[in-house]
Amino acid sequence: MDLILWRHADAEIASEGEDDLSRELTVKGEKQAVRMAAWLDRHLPEGARILVSPARRTEQTAKALNRKYKLRDELVPDSNADEVLALIKWDLEKGPQGKGPVLLVGHQPYLGEIAARLLGMQEHSCAIRKGAVWWLRSRVREEYSEILLLSVTNPDFI
């Protein structure tokens, strides 16, 4: 199973009293989303499940990919890594229970926490930049499950 973590692109700072879920992408963020979406479109298999936080900025980021996606409440900004791993049916001891690639479009800190857990790092040691993609793959080799980091891609370098 491939797990692709895509943090939303650069977003406006919330004004006083503004709902965090309604924050929109900045002009810079729109450009980041388009660049990253073009890269993803070249590499992401057609059958990939795309799950997106219902926050406006994540939906705008995902729309740049121009593929079907599902909004999932489990991916809101205040979710945690455990909730998200349960959503995609990934058991830390047994590995992924599903098949096929999954693209999560979401937020820090839970995206970084997921990457850190799967790669065996300290949970708070991994930060994913705005607009960036981390591509992880789970595989079994010689009866052992392992996680490969296939790519870390930042929209500023595309």
Q: What is the CATH number of the domain that holds 117?
A: 3.40.50.1240
Instruction: List the domain range (segments joined by +) for residue 34.
Output: 2-11+21-157
Domain count, the chain: 1
Residue 16 lies in a domain: no
Asked whether residue 43 is assigned to any structural domain, the reply reads yes
Residue 65: inside a domain, yes or no? yes
What do you get for the CA distance between the two ends of the chain, in Å?
25
pLDDT digits (tens, 9 = 90+) for 38-89: 999 999 999 999 999 999 999 999 999 999 999 999 999 999 999 999 999 9
Residue 93 lies in a domain: yes
The pTM is what? 0.95
Name beta bridge partners: 11. 25
Q: What is the 3-state secondary structure (H, E, C) of 72-84?
A: CHHHCCCCCHHHH
Query: How many other CB atoms are found less than 10 A from the CB of residue 124?
Result: 10
Tell me the one-letter amino acid at 85: L
